[in-house]
Structure 1
Amino acid sequence: MSAEFGGRTGRQSRISQWLRGRRPKEAAGDGGREDLLLAAAAAGLPLAPAAHPADGYGCSCDRVGCPTPARHPVSFAWQTQSTTDRAQVERWARHQSQANFVTATGMVHDVFDVPLEAGRQALRRLLEEGVEAGPVAESDDGRMLFFTLTRGTPEDEDEWWPCELDCHPETMDEHPGLRWHCRGSYVLVPPARLPGDDRGVRWVRGPEHALPDPLSLLEALTDACARYAGDEPDHVGASWPRH
């Protein structure tokens, strides 16, 4: 990992200063994509370039029948390439103007990835109960992403386990319930474009919100996903983390 990360207080201070220094018209104009990526990097989310939609529902990569079009990193070295360095993110954003970006999980942050309706129910409950929900994104492929602190850090290596114990990014369709992205995984970071007309990934609550402890969200998310599975017969076989 090519970036250095500070504590939560330092991160909040840096991103708050950065956001206060932006003019509203900048975020709304052509620089809006770059501004949002820089805000994510300033919040400590390590970024790496990803594929983008091509030819309608295809992918910009050269893989025939890509199973995750516009949803995967460009480089196989994405874990070591991922960075929060502002200058590098600016270069990528400007020279790869069509690219989506992923953020590597399990180093600074994890991501709870849940069905959209379940996520919306859980978010309402969390806000009503006064729980800090942290950054949250919605995807037009029917998912909601809750960004949290990671379960492990390089200092406590024994507490880490790979995301493959839950699921792998390329086998997500086999896990329609709650997915816990941790070490070895990634998610698209807003703003991102998905194949199809006007489909993408966007922030509901931006990266200026502090990353919460994942356990503070888990009960609300699992309860909402259980209700969602009960309401949707096709999701009865949803996979749950077993740890």
Structure 2
Amino acid sequence: MSAEYGGRTGRQGRLSQWLRGRRPKEAADDGGREALLLAAAAAGLPLAPAAHPAPGYRCSCDRVGCPTPARHPVSFAWQTQSTTDRGQIERWARHQPDANFITATGMVHDVLDVPLEAGREALERLLADKIEVGPVAETGDGRMLFFTLTRGTPEDEDEWWPCELDCHPETMDEHPGLRWHCRGSYVLVPPSRLPGEGLDVHWVHGPEHALPDPLSLLEHLTDACARHHVGQDGDHQSGGAWPLRH
């Protein structure tokens, strides 16, 4: 699967160089928004339209007091709507120019979602140890998203193993440390905008990189979360890592 979705080509290498230093508004200004969405779809990430920021730190949806402004899908049918079809994504991008996009996890890929500083530390260590790292995104609200192969959806449901790290949209607050987005969850995909001046979701390791096995990253990520959870004086900081090591 990783060969199918993550193989590198000269075109993808140029995309990686183009991504460096660019932010969603810059991309949108020259049509690059659509190119970024199509690159994500080409990597196997199924996409669906999402809400976008509205003036006054509000959400574009019609829900009064939306609890997750600009961070949720437009349609309740987002799981079946999500697609990698180029034509459909082009139509969405052109007809909904302000929309963010989500990618549904648990079909092709999962996402390991960690606090930003822990993620940056883990990414540096992973690259230094020459461990294959797939696409990685940073969010303006202080998270880092590591895209991996999914644990799968086997024909025999008993073979699918649950995990205490599993995170669904309604359980986000319960997982302040490491969150594992698998079946039934989603994350914003670059280029997305968040409420607040200059806040966005952008790639730091582009979608041309092959999706790795999540277990190859998990130990580095949990260790980094634990280190950032414990203060220099040994006291636990707010927003605990999960799991903590004793």
Please indicate the TM-score interval, normalised by the length of the shorter structure. 0.7 to 0.9
- Map of 2:66 onto structure 1: 66
- TM-superposition CA deviations, 1:200-238 (whole Å, max 9, x none): 0000001000000000000000000001111262124x4
**Paired residues of 1:152 and 1:159 also in contact (CA < 8 A):** no
Q: Tell me the distance in 2 between the aligned counterparts of 1:18 and 1:87.
A: 20
Matches within 5 A, 1:88-237: 88-155=88-155, 157-160=157-160, 166-231=166-231, 233-236=237-240
Query: Cα offset for 1:48?
Result: 0.3
Q: Comparing 57-66 with 167-176, which one deviates more in the overlay?
A: 167-176
**Paired residues of 2:114 and 2:225 also in contact (CA < 8 A):** yes
- TM-superposition CA deviations, 1:166-210 (whole Å, max 9, x none): 332133233210000000000000000000111000000010000
Distance change >3 Å, CA 164–CA 61, structure 1 → 2: farther
- Map of 1:4 onto structure 2: none
Query: Cα offset for 1:141?
Result: 0.2
**Paired residues of 1:118 and 1:221 also in contact (CA < 8 A):** yes
Q: Tell me the distance in 2 between the aligned counterparts of 1:173 and 1:75.
A: 22
**How big is the alpha-carbon RMSD for the aligned residues of Structure 1 and Structure 2?**
2.5
**Paired residues of 2:136 and 2:145 also in contact (CA < 8 A):** yes
Query: Cα offset for 1:39?
Result: 0.1
**Paired residues of 1:113 and 1:181 also in contact (CA < 8 A):** yes
Q: Comparing 77-86 with 169-178, which one deviates more in the overlay?
A: 169-178
Distance change >3 Å, CA 57–CA 152, structure 1 → 2: same
**Paired residues of 1:107 and 1:154 also in contact (CA < 8 A):** no
Where in structure 2 are there 5+ consecutive unaligned residues?
A: 19-25
**Paired residues of 1:160 and 1:183 also in contact (CA < 8 A):** no
The number of residue pairs the alignment matches comes to 232
Query: Cα offset for 1:10?
Result: 2.7
Please point out which of 8, 12, 15 is paired with 1:19.
12
Distance change >3 Å, CA 115–CA 84, structure 1 → 2: same
TM-score normalised by the chain length of structure 2? 0.86
Where in structure 1 are there 5+ consecutive unaligned residues?
A: 1-6
Q: Tell me the distance in 1 between the aligned counterparts of 2:82 and 2:148.
A: 18
Q: Tell me the distance in 2 between the aligned counterparts of 1:81 and 1:37.
A: 15
Q: Tell me the distance in 2 between the aligned counterparts of 1:129 and 1:156.
A: 36
**Paired residues of 1:177 and 1:239 also in contact (CA < 8 A):** yes
Q: Comparing 160-169 with 92-101, which one deviates more in the overlay?
A: 160-169
Please point out which of 9, 22, 39 is paired with 2:3.
9
TM-score normalised by the chain length of structure 1? 0.87
- TM-superposition CA deviations, 1:62-109 (whole Å, max 9, x none): 111111100000000000000000000000001000000000000100
